Structure 1
Amino acid sequence: MDALAIALLAFFATGYFVLAGADIGTGMLLPYLGRTDHERRLVIASFAPFFLGNEVWLVATAGVLVGCFPDLEGELMTGQFVVFVPLLTGWIVRDVGLWSRGRGPARGPGDEPGGERRRDRAGAWRAVCDGAVVCGSWAVALGWGWLLAALLTGTPYETAAGPVAVLTALAVAVLFAAHGLGFATLRLTGRPYARARRLVGRTGSWQSFALTAVLLGALPVVAGSALPLAARAADSATLSLLVPALLVVLPLLVAAQVWTWRTFRHRVTRPSYL
């Protein structure tokens, strides 16, 4: 049961980094990919159908950690509290920006009394929400990099500090951005696509996305090897209840992801309500 619990934790964590890494990375590049309000809406529409489903993998990862490795979860929360605060704050800010963007002041026709002022307010509202998406995405990417710096250097119960922590956080953030760039070349059209393709270069879109997916997916696996997972696993009775339940949920989660990606597999040609 211990081995199954560790495998489930690795699978959910890898799924989150690969899937959510795409929308986080695309959000990080929003100012570059989208130069106008219409283009930014197009960029957001490219990952809007996926981001909530992708975050379910993080919830599942946290659930496995709390249920199957409760002692380890407590130690990590204590040792990495300084890291989790900005990471979760960035996550919340980003999601608020995405949900709020299409729910601000309505634009009014220019020839209508007060219409121009309403257009200005609507533009300012969207600019603030776009800033929240970008800043929140960067905070999440850097937060994961900061956390991984502690795990990869063998100090999971101490906050990473110094040049190694800074370089690791930046490297992981760049990897998130590169993953989002590959995702953008698969989903976008028009000028946003051309900008993404320019940075990808001669590498094919699927090849670029697959390469960054492998690298991102390897990060939680390598980092997890530094944790005493087997020694911190819950007792046999607890695992006997939780692991079978997780194995039942697993195919449903995978099926939902397959359905989502198949349904929204085509390139985005027009903005969404966001």
Structure 2
Amino acid sequence: MWLRELWLVLVGILFTGYFILEGFDYGVGMLHPFINHTDGEKRASLSAIGPTWSANEVWLVAAGGALFAAFPDWYATMFSGFYLALILILLGLIVRGVGIEYRSQDKNLKWRTTWDWLIFAGSFLTTVLWAVAFANIVRGVPITAHKIDVGGFGSLINGFSLWAALTFVLVFLVQGGAYLAIKGDSRSRKQGRRVAGKAAWPAALALAIWFVWMDRLPSSAGHVDALAVILQVLAVLAVVAGWLSGYFTKHAGSFVLSSLSIASTTFSLFRILFPRVMVSSLNPRWSLTIYNASSTTYTLQIMSVTALIILPIILGYQTWLYWTFRKPVKDEEMGY
């Protein structure tokens, strides 16, 4: 039985890694048209994420693969009920990726400006829709006794999910600003510090309100324990501490604390859900859990052995990648 709990933790870790690493990519993408004015400034901010953005998406692929193999009913219900939202997420990822790679292929100003705004749109759309998806997983969607989500895209749009979207945007802006503060060129670092400082307090407030709202949801009744509350408080305090760290020019500390906030937020969601993985708004007994949505024990055993082989390779490669590109961007190294 412990294999189901183990794989839920692993899925949580994979989504946490994805939100931390892609969080600063999305943040930089959303900031891109606004904090940069000259073409050189725009190239500098994109060069800060250029070597790593595509590798960061490996975490999403791994999370999706883990869902498919370990919790096939969760995967099937979510990907059918959230079909349009997930297609739009995929579209946002494609547009952003193409924008980053193709922007520099032509020196025409209109060409580059168009891609600048598409990079923003892809980053913003993806951030908003991930927030909407996870908010509704916690809030509840109309899942029947046959594990079918009978709701549509419109049912995902509600006050709670829209506030989640605002919260995710603010938190990722802090993450993106904090990353630029340590990785960008001299001007990008200055702009990153400014954005991270200005967005930190609104992000902390938005997180606090969202957590209180979440804890008062009918779907959360009886599932908000001390650990969940501790994680929520830690997430808010980490944003504030990150602001203080940036104020005292400890910019690496700001990024670490911003990442801690994202990790605490993600794990608080999984903690409140546990042992559920998707809540049914029609009948709590129809909710998907790690017990009624998982693969067989034998499948989980095979996957566990496979994960022991693959995960160290992924972690080793990403560690090498970030170590190789650890230095701030220099003018002569800009390629985007």
For the aligned pair, the TM-score class normalised by the smaller chain equals 0.7 to 0.9
Ranges in structure 2 where 5+ consecutive residues have no aligned partner: 143-148, 198-246, 278-288
Ranges in structure 1 where 5+ consecutive residues have no aligned partner: 108-121
CA distance in 2, matches of 1:42, 1:236: 49
Q: Map of 1:179-190 to 2, 5 A cutoff?
A: 179-190=175-186
Question: Could you report, residue by residue, the CA deviation over 1:127-158 in whole angstroms, capped at 9, with x for unpaired residues?
Answer: 11111111100011111111121123244855
Whether the 8 Å contact between 2:178 and 2:254 is mirrored in structure 1 is yes
User: Is 1:74 matched up with 2:69?
Assistant: no
Structure 2 CA distance for partners of 1:15 and 1:230, relative to 1, 3 Å? farther
CA distance in 2, matches of 1:41, 1:8: 36
**May I ask how many residue pairs the two structures share in their alignment?**
258
CA distance in 2, matches of 1:75, 1:224: 17
CA distance in 2, matches of 1:253, 1:137: 24
* Cα shift at 1:103: 2.3
* Cα shift at 1:177: 1.1
CA distance in 2, matches of 1:152, 1:236: 26
Q: Which has the higher contact order (CA 8 A, sep 6+)?
A: 1
Q: Map of 1:256-271 to 2, 5 A cutoff?
A: 256-270=317-331, 271=333
Q: Map of 1:13-24 to 2, 5 A cutoff?
A: 13-24=15-26
CA distance in 2, matches of 1:166, 1:94: 22
CA RMSD of aligned residues (A): 1.8
Q: Map of 1:35-54 to 2, 5 A cutoff?
A: 35-54=37-56
Please, what TM-score do these two structures have when normalized by structure 1? 0.88
The answer for the alignment partner of 1:273 in structure 2 is: 335
2:270 to 224, 241, 250: 224
CA distance in 1, matches of 2:20, 2:194: 23
1:210 to 256, 261, 266: 256
* Cα shift at 1:93: 0.7
The answer for the alignment partner of 1:65 in structure 2 is: 67
1:127 to 113, 116, 127: 113
Whether the 8 Å contact between 1:14 and 1:220 is mirrored in structure 2 is yes
Whether the 8 Å contact between 2:173 and 2:195 is mirrored in structure 1 is no
User: Is 1:234 matched up with 2:295?
Assistant: yes
Q: Map of 1:103-252 to 2, 5 A cutoff?
A: 103-104=105-106, 107=107, 122-155=108-141, 159-201=155-197, 202=247, 204-225=250-271, 226=273, 227=277, 228-252=289-313
Question: Could you report, residue by residue, the CA deviation over 1:226-267 in whole angstroms, capped at 9, with x for unpaired residues?
Answer: 212243110112112222101211111111111111111111
| Letter in structure 2 aligned against 1:24 | Y
CA distance in 2, matches of 1:25, 1:199: 10
| Letter in structure 2 aligned against 1:84 | L
CA distance in 1, matches of 2:313, 2:94: 26
Whether the 8 Å contact between 2:181 and 2:189 is mirrored in structure 1 is yes
Whether the 8 Å contact between 1:33 and 1:43 is mirrored in structure 2 is no
Please, what TM-score do these two structures have when normalized by structure 2? 0.72
